[in-house]
Each structure stands twice: as structure tokens, then as C-alpha cells.
Amino acid sequence: MDTMHLEYFIEVARQKSFSKSAEILHISQPSVSKAIKDLEIQLGVTLFYRNTKFVDLTDAGKIILEQAQKIVSSVNNITARLDGLTKLQTGKVHIGLPPITGITPFSKLLGLFKKEYPNITIQFFEYGAKKIEPALCDGLLDFGIIFPPEDTNKFDSLSFSRDSLKVIMSPEHPLAQYDSLDFTMLKNEEFVLYHPDFRLHDMVLDRCKEAGYYPKIIFETAQFQLMVQLAEANLGIALLPDAVCKNLDGNTVVSRSFNDPQIYLELALVWKKERYLSHAARELLNFVKAFLAVRTNTFFKRQQ
């Protein structure tokens, strides 16, 4: 069995597209299709459901995916160990992240990692948190940047940021006169809310229910720029992390804090517990652990 065929199979599973996989792999789409067909013949199973709209793994494909990743990772590790003789670190790391939250602290950390490991490629995939966890379980991602998972038996995580949510609105909005707000004050407002794929969507709904109402939702989106634009036009209010609010134009949109209890966006680097990580993924994980340890020690020294 050709490991290159397995690499093509993993990429199609990740992208859910033969054409997009071909672009990433820098080969022709017929070559990808032939490799997958040859692999199906060798294994005697169908790996993908195919139609004009989507490509998805069959049950057999899901089982084979996990083993294929282990095989490819093992082969890559052999190469990496040999390359290590010349101190060359190579490989790929696949990270899923939500598009709406902003990951500035982690972006800076990745920039430092890239300087130290220039030959390791980091590939990003834009998903909501509710899609990142299944992708981690299926082996399509090495890491996700999401809320610390509730299921600690299934996932490991490293928290790296915690940011309070603020309400954004037009300066002309009646609530703009207040310095801070309660959820009860939003009862009659129209919400531009996070898409249901995001855990923040459920958190906001829960807080509204605690305040005794269900919010009037006029739009749900995964793009914070669109949330800002609708708030600027005074079409509704939205809730965004403080780090995002600090970069907004105060002349067109204003932000207001919540009175306690606050609602927080906490982000962590998350990975599937006991799943095999490639050499490159382990290098990134060790780098993040070391970075967070230094940051924690620096913080405590400042408090002394």
C-alpha cells in the first residue's frame, strides 16, 4: 500500500473535496481521484460518499482514517528523525479555530513558533467550536482553539486567554447612555447573534433565559465584521469579546460592559486525548507548554 495514497485520502477527508485537496497537494484532480479509487480497490470498501454537492466519509472510511493517520505519521516520523541528524524540523500541523472570536494572543505565540521552526507548516481551518470537537475526534485536526472542553476524559487542553464579552451598538442607541448593562435591560432588544455552531450562542441564550426572556434574534452569523456593521446601522445589538471591541471605531459603534456576573470567552488549545500526534504537532504542543509556563512565572514574579 502506497503511503502517498493514504496522504491523499487524509487530505480529501479533511477538505471534503477532491478539487480543493488537489490544489493543496499541488497535483491534478484526476490523480487524486485515481489514488482514492486504487485505495478503495485494495481495501475492498468504499471510502467516500460522493455527489455533486459534497464528499463525506463512509463508516468504513472513518475507521480507516484513524489508522491511515497513524501510518502516515509513523512514516513521517521516520523521515523527521533522519532529518533530525541535520537538525531540520519539518512537518504539518492542522489547527481548527472559530472565525469570530479573534485569537490575537495565540497568533503571537504561533509567530514565535514559526521563527523557531520555519520548516513546519501550520494549516488553519475555520470552524465553529461544535464542529471542531468532532473533527478532533475524527483525526481531521491536530488541535482546536475553543472553549476548554467539558469532557476531560476525551480531550486535553491548555488555556491561554480569558476575555469578557461586551455589548456593541450604535452611538445613537438608547442603551449607549449607560456605562454598564444587565441582561434584563436587553429584553426588548434585537440581537445579532453568533451562529449555533458556536458555544457562545448557547451561553448568550442561557443568560437571557436566566433574565426571564428569550432574545429577539434578527440574524445569526459566523462573521464578527457583519455583526459590527449591523450594530453600526442601528439594526440590533451584538456581543463581542473585549479584545475585538478595543479595535472598533468609537465614532460609529460603542461597547458597554456587563455588570457582574460577567460572561467570558475563554480559549484553549485542545487536542484529542490519547490520539497519536505527529512529530510536528508534538513540537508545537511542547512549545506552547513552555511559553505558558514562562508567562505564568513572569506573572507571579510581578505579584511578589
**Helices (runs of H) and strands (runs of E) counted in the chain:** 10, 12
Give the position of cell 472565525. Answer: 99
**Dihedral of CA 127/128/131/133: which sign?**
positive
User: In this predicted structure, what is the pLDDT of residue 302?
Assistant: 44
Proportion of the chain above pLDDT 70, given as a percent: 90
Give percent of the chain above pLDDT 90.
43
Q: How many Cβ atoms sit within 10 Å of the Cβ of residue 226?
A: 14
Name the helix (H) or strand (E) containing 262: none
Q: What is the pLDDT of residue 223?
A: 84
Distance CA 124, CA 98 (A): 10
Residue-wise pLDDT for 106-145, tens only, equals 788 888 999 988 888 899 888 877 788 889 988 889 999 9
Band (pLDDT 50/70/90 cuts) for residue 295 is low
Distances (CA, A) of 294 to 22, 53, 297, 298, 299: 41, 48, 5, 6, 9
For residue range 157-201, what is the model confidence (pLDDT) as tens digits? 998 888 899 999 999 999 999 999 999 999 999 999 988 888 889
pLDDT tens figures, 1-17: 678 889 899 999 988 88
Q: 47 or 1, which is more confident?
A: 47
State the pLDDT at residue 85: 45
Confidence label for 230 from pLDDT (cuts 50, 70 and 90): very high
End-to-end CA distance of the chain: 60
> What pLDDT, in 10s, does the model give residues 274-291?
888 888 898 899 999 998
Query: Residue 205: what pLDDT?
Result: 95
d(CA 147, CA 22) in angstroms, rounded, equals: 32
Q: Which stretch of DSSP H or E encloses residue 188?
A: none
Pairing of strands 143-146, 120-126: unpaired
Nine-digit cell string for 301: 514574579
What does pTM read for this prediction? 0.69
Domains of the chain: 3-87 (1.10.10.10), 91-160+266-301 (3.40.190.10), 165-264 (3.40.190.10)
pLDDT the model gives residue 301: 44
